Amino acid sequence: MRHYLQCGRFGFNLDSKALVMGILNVTPDSFSDGGSFNKLEFALSRAEEMVAAGAAMIDIGGESTRPGSPSVPLAEELQRVMPVVYALQGLGVPLSVDTCKPEVMREVLIAGADMINDVNGFRAPGALEAVRDSDCGLCIMHMQATPQTMQREPHYDDVVAEVIAFLRERIDAMTAAGIDRERICIDPGFGFGKTVAHNYTLLREIGRMRSELARPVLAGLSRKSMIGAVVGRPVEQRLAGSLAGALAAVAQGARIVRVHDVAETVDAIQVWQAATSFN
């Protein structure tokens, strides 16, 4: 089972299927009303809706990592994420938390999170130690520079080779720390310190990433500027483009796609899988 992924309370055999991870943003700009109870109710109903639509996991994010975003203080991020992790415990799917902070990783794992999704690839001092002694899933993403600076002037001599080398180094650091490979999935990090051309080169080479590193690939391109750049549409009109991007990623061998529009993506992938021999 080359594509088994251990994810806390859950485990997935990804040999012959691709999963959809639904995005649940818990940043203040993702809610229109003020009260904290309403926020929690809203997060819970969004998550339930995504699971009903076929999401196999939910990715909870309290730290906006959009280009140019300021970093969020620790206390603030904990305040946003912890109540949601507790509230979603009974959802029946793995709860992933999108964070770079070792302190947040420790707290959410105690609260029952099943996966840590780190756009910084677990490079912060203490990150490996924070996740080592649990059996949570780990998504290692590649990012050049930081969210504040990454889109200034992304440069690579060979983007695919450099992203693979980075992911390999992180996998090696994690396994050297005693972390089981079966917990790890890898992500090229679309839009994180990449031009549109870099992003599409990486998309075409997902198969190489997967075969060289022998871990499942997670792809996140939902509504991103690499879609906007091709279709010439603002973020709220990128659904069709995002579906095509998700299918392209699955066709290239991605096993998890991280999306906003779960129902539509699940349908698209189901038809894709019915129509192709999947490997």
Q: In the bound complex, what is the minimum distance in angstroms from residue 249's beta carbon to ligand 7PJ? A: 10
When the beta carbons of 128 and 257 are compared against ligand 7PJ, the nearer one is 257
CA distance 122 to 99: 9
> Using CB under 6 A, which residues numbered 250 to 279 contact ligand 7PJ?
258
Tell me the β-bridge partners of 57: 21
When the beta carbons of 109 and 221 are compared against ligand 7PJ, the nearer one is 221
Residue with tokens 């793995």, as numbered in its chain: 94
Q: In the bound complex, what is the minimum distance in angstroms from residue 18's beta carbon to ligand 7PJ? A: 15
Residue type, 139: C
When the beta carbons of 149 and 274 are compared against ligand 7PJ, the nearer one is 149
Catalytic residues: 224, 258
141 binds ligand 7PJ (CB under 6 A): yes
58 binds ligand 7PJ (CB under 6 A): no
Q: Under rule CB under 6 A, how many of the chain's residues touch ligand 7PJ?
A: 14
CA distance 68 to 10: 35
Residue type, 211: S
In this structure, the number of other CB atoms found within 10 A of the CB of residue 204 comes to: 12
- The residues, ordered by sequence, that sit 6+ positions from 96 with a Cβ below 8 Å of its Cβ are 21, 57, 58, 59, 60, 113, 114, 115, 116, 117, 137, 139
Nearest residue to ligand 7PJ on Cβ basis: 220
Q: In the bound complex, what is the minimum distance in angstroms from residue 148's beta carbon to ligand 7PJ? A: 14
> Phi, psi at residue 191, to the nearest 5°?
85, -5
Helix (H) or strand (E) holding 111: helix 102-111
Region from 39-47, 218-226, 236-244, 263-271 binding ligand 7PJ, contact rule CB under 6 A: 218-226
77 binds ligand 7PJ (CB under 6 A): no
Q: HSE on the CB side for 169, CA within 13 Å? A: 10
Q: In the bound complex, what is the minimum distance in angstroms from residue 218's beta carbon to ligand 7PJ? A: 5
Residue type, 113: A
Q: In the bound complex, what is the minimum distance in angstroms from residue 179's beta carbon to ligand 7PJ? A: 17
224 binds ligand 7PJ (CB under 6 A): yes
50 binds ligand 7PJ (CB under 6 A): no
CA distance 128 to 232: 40
Helix (H) or strand (E) holding 275: helix 262-275
> Using CB under 6 A, which residues numbered 178 to 207 contact ligand 7PJ?
187, 189-190
When the beta carbons of 22 and 83 are compared against ligand 7PJ, the nearer one is 22
Q: Tell me which of 117, 144, 151, 199 binds ligand 7PJ, using CB under 6 A.
A: 117
Q: In the bound complex, what is the minimum distance in angstroms from residue 141's beta carbon to ligand 7PJ? A: 4
- The residues, ordered by sequence, that sit 6+ positions from 257 with a Cβ below 8 Å of its Cβ are 18, 19, 20, 21, 218, 219, 220, 221, 222, 246, 249, 250, 265, 269
Task: Name the site residues for ligand 7PJ (rule: CB under 6 A).
Answer: 65-66, 98, 117, 119, 139, 141, 187, 189-190, 218, 220, 224, 258
